[in-house]
Amino acid sequence: MSVGFHQRDCCPLCESTSNRILCEIPYQDQRLATFIEQFYQGRVPLEQLASANYRVVACANCEFIYQDPVLNEDAMQELYRNWIDNQLSLQKKQTAKSKLYRQYTAQVGTLSRIIDKRPDQIRVLDFGMGWGYWSRMAQAHGLNVVGYELSAQRVEHARKMGVTVIDDLAVVVDDFDFIYANQVFEHLSNPVQTMQALCQCLKPTGFIYIRVPDGRDVARDLAQRGWTQDLDAIHPLEHINCFTRKTLIELGARAGLKPFSPPLRLSWDGLWGGIRREIADRWFTTHVFFSRQE
C-alpha cells in the first residue's frame, strides 16, 4: 500500500487545463497540520502528507472549485477505513435530532409525489448510503429501496437493520425510478464518470437527487480571509469537489440531465417559511432533483 497524492490533470467537470489558485498551504503548515491532527484524532500519519500542498483551484472555464492534488486510491481507502472516526460517524446517526428525520421524511415525501406509482413499485437506489438510515426511512414509506456503499463496516450495519445492499452497479441498467445521493459527490475523484454511471442505472423517466455542501461563498471567503477550518465545503482531503448550484447543474448536464423542480408544497401553516424554502430550493441551494426531461 502506497499512501500519497494524485494530480488531477484537468478540471474534473469540464476537462479544461486552465485554472487559478484560490489557496495553497503546505500540509506541514502548523495551522493545517494541527487541524488535521485534531480532526482525525492523530490517526493521519502527517509525515505521509508532508511532501504535498493543500491546494484549492477554480477552473478558468467553468468556475468549478476543486482540490488538486487529491489522495491517491490507497490513501483514500485509508482515509475512509481508518483515519475517519467510524464509531463517531455512526454515533452521530444513532443520536441524530428529529430534524434529520423530518428532512428525510420530506425528501421521501417529495419523491413519492413526483413518481406516480404505488410505493412498492417505486425502485429506489440510495447511492453512498452510509450507515443506511435514509434507506430505512424510505423502506418505512413502503418504497422498494436498495443501498450501495463502499465501506464494508457501513454495509454490515445497514444489512443488520434490514436494508438490502447491492455491490455491483455495472450490471444494473434502466432499473431505478429514483436515485438518492446525499453528501457523496463532494468526495469523488471522477464525479462526471460516476454521474454518467448512475444515469445508466436510471429508468428514462427516473429522477436523481444530489445533495452536496454549498460552496457558493468559498471563493470570496478564501480571497477575504484565507483558509479557515470552518470552510466545510473544501474540507482538506475529503471534500475534493466544491459545488455551487451552477456547477452542480453543469455536472448533471454532462450526463444528459436537467434540473427538475418538484411541484410546490406550500400550506397556510408556516406559509412564509415555505415560500422562502421553495425560492431557495429552486434557485440557490446545492440540492437538486435531476431528470432527463425539461
- Residues in Cβ contact with 235 at an 8 Å cutoff, skipping those fewer than 6 apart: none
Asked if 254 interacts with Zn ion (CB under 5 A), we say no
Burial grade of 47 (CB within 10 A; 0-12, 13-18, 19 or more): exposed
Measured between alpha carbons, how far is 27 from 81 in angstroms, rounded to an integer? 21
Residue of 286, 129, 163, 151 lying closest to 217 (CA atoms): 286
| By CB under 5 A, residue 11 contacts Zn ion | yes
Q: Which stretch binds Zn ion (CB under 5 A): 40-48, 54-62, 80-88, 155-163?
A: 54-62
CB of 211 to Zn ion, least distance (A): 21
Instruction: Residue 263: count other Cβ atoms within 10 Å of its Cβ.
Output: 7
C-alpha of 141 from chain center: 23
59 binds Zn ion (CB under 5 A): yes
| Residue 10 in the binding site for Zn ion (CB under 5 A) | no
Minimum distance between the CB of residue 10 and Zn ion, rounded to whole angstroms? 8
Query: Looking at beta carbons only, is 13 or 199 nearer to Zn ion?
Result: 13
- Whole-number Å distance between alpha carbons of 105 and 99: 10
Please select the residue that binds Zn ion; options are 25, 33, 46, 62, rule is CB under 5 A: 62
250/278 with CB nearer Zn ion: 250
Is 61 a binding residue for Zn ion by CB under 5 A? The answer is yes
Nearer to Zn ion, 59 or 155 (CB): 59
Residues that bind Zn ion (CB under 5 A): 11, 13-14, 16, 59, 61-62, 64
